């Protein structure tokens, strides 16, 4: 297989392999620029807004308990409930991530099978 023609940010030739009929690996292929941009955007949005809200609520709750504006028992139960919510959000994230990885694995297996079928 041919090597990618791109030069890395470190100024070195890319060591990635290219698909037949291409000059660049998937990481440098101009035709995949939009897909790379979407992936980077998705990664940048990984902060779940609900988590940010829960953290603000927990900070306020802690402050209110310390100042005596909220009873300790109420603050404790509220914090426990918010903790359960955070664990549920994390579980959903892990399930979604696992499903995405499974989809990618199936796509890679299918691509490998196609290559074998065509003798590549």
- Condensed to tens digits (0 to 9), the pLDDT of residues 50-95 reads 999 999 999 999 999 999 999 999 999 999 999 999 999 999 999 9
Q: How far apart are CA 25 and CA 28, in angstroms?
A: 5
20-61 per-position pLDDT tens digit: 888 888 888 888 888 878 777 665 555 688 999 999 999 999
User: 90, 46 in Cβ contact below 8 A?
Assistant: no
Residues composing the chain: 120
Domain boundaries, the chain: 1-45, 47-117
Task: Please indicate, yes or no, whether the overall pTM of this predicted structure exceeds 0.75.
Answer: no
Between CA 35 and CA 14 the distance in angstroms is 19
Number of C-beta neighbours around residue 22 at 10 A = 16
The C-alpha atoms of residue 48 and residue 40 are separated, in whole angstroms, by 16
């Amino acid at each position: 297989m041919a090597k990618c023609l791109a030069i890395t940010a470190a100024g070195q030739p890319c060591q990635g392999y290219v698909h037949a009929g291409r000059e660049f690996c998937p990481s440098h292929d101009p035709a995949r620029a939009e897909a790379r941009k979407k992936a980077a955007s998705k990664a940048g949005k990984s902060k779940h807004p609900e988590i940010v809200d829960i953290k603000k609520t927990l900070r306020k709750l802690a402050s209110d308990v310390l100042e005596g504006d909220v009873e300790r028992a109420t603050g404790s139960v509220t914090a426990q409930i918010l903790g359960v919510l955070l664990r549920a959000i994390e579980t959903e994230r892990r399930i979604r991530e696992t499903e995405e990885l499974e989809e990618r694995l199936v796509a890679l297996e299918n691509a490998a099978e196609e290559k074998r079928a065509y003798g590549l």
